């Protein structure tokens, strides 16, 4: 199984190179942002918004959290591209070879999952290191708050990655784009069905105060209720693994 994981990592070598550049860029830009938010032009802009628009310091802090979170999503989003692994396997004709390997279907499927989610883990650890640096530079960034944001983002990406693997096994080679589309569709549909009323309010016309409150609630959920998404991600990954094994066995191991 170790060889399969190394093979999958080789399929992601381009993403790993891009990941290295993104990590350096995110670190530099994040440091520049927090320093400017404390001493530079962004600090002056924040003071202007507080005076002219009536925004509170909490609103400014939440806005800064949202901006930095977008930066910090990049390392996690860059790694763990399951569709690329399946695409490269299909181009190389590896699916025909894999069926003859002296490994069970369960282990061959597990190798895919381990590769993808180990890469997500690397992205999370990288983000935590960046947050450690930022929190040491300024009090604008709280490690505890951003820890929740990072885990929430990684949980959502893990759910997406697990769904992509299932759909790639189901649809087969050459349909990786459809697998990505179906995975996104399932996540959006699930979110709508689980909490239609609150999602509807995000698109309804509201006052500035209501909009700010909704935004704060959204941010606070990701900060404080990250364990909810983490548990959902664990359940999704477990279910998707067993479904992927079932699909692979139905195809007699030719996956």
Tell which wins on pLDDT, 254 or 234.
234
User: Which residue has tokens 């409150």?
Assistant: 213
Domain that holds residue 149: 2-250
pLDDT for the residue 42:
72
Distance CA 39, CA 160 (A): 39
Distance CA 35, CA 117 (A): 33
Comparing CA positions, the residue from 166, 178, 153, 170 lying closest to residue 233 is 153
Say how many domains are in the chain.
Answer: 1
17 occurs within a structural domain: yes
Tell which wins on pLDDT, 195 or 240.
240
- pLDDT tens by residue, 14-68: 777 888 888 888 888 888 877 777 777 776 776 776 666 666 666 666 677 777 7
165 occurs within a structural domain: yes
255 occurs within a structural domain: no
Pick the range with the lowest mean pLDDT from 48-57, 66-75, 107-116.
Answer: 48-57
> Can you tell me the mean pLDDT for 174-188?
87
Can you read off the two tokens belonging to residue 155? Answer: 């949980």
55 occurs within a structural domain: yes
Distance CA 112, CA 241 (A): 10
Per-residue burial over 5-30, b if 16 or more Cβ lie within 10 Å, else e, is eebbeebbeebeeebeebbeebbeeb
Distance CA 199, CA 191 (A): 8
56 occurs within a structural domain: yes
Tell which wins on pLDDT, 52 or 244.
244
pLDDT band at 95 (very low <50, low <70, confident <90, very high): low
């Amino acid at each position: 199984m170790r060889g399969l994981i190394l093979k999958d990592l080789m399929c992601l070598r381009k993403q790993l190179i891009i990941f290295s550049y993104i990590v350096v860029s995110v670190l530099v830009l994040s440091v520049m942002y927090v320093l400017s938010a404390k001493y530079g032009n962004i600090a002056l802009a924040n003071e202007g918004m507080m005076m002219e628009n009536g925004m509170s310091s909490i609103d400014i802090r939440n806005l800064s959290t949202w901006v930095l979170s977008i930066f910090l999503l990049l390392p996690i989003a860059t790694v763990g591209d399951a569709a690329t692994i399946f695409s490269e396997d299909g181009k190389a004709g590896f699916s025909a070879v894999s069926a003859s390997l002296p490994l069970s279907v369960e282990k061959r499927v597990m190798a895919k999952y381990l590769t993808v989610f180990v890469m997500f883990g690397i992205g999370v650890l990288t983000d935590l290191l960046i947050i450690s640096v930022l929190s040491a530079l300024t009090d604008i960034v709280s490690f505890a708050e951003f820890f929740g944001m990072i885990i929430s983002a990684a949980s959502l990406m893990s759910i997406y990655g697990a769904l992509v693997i299932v759909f790639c096994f189901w649809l087969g080679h050459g349909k990786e784009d459809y697998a990505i589309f179906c995975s996104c569709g399932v996540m959006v549909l699930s979110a709508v069905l689980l909490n239609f009323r609150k999602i509807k309010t995000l698109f309804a016309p509201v006052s500035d105060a209501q909009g700010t409150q909704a935004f704060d609630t959204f941010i606070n959920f990701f900060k404080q209720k990250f364990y909810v998404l983490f548990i959902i991600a664990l359940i999704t990954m477990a279910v998707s693994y067993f479904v992927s094994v079932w699909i692979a066995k139905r195809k007699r191991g030719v996956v």
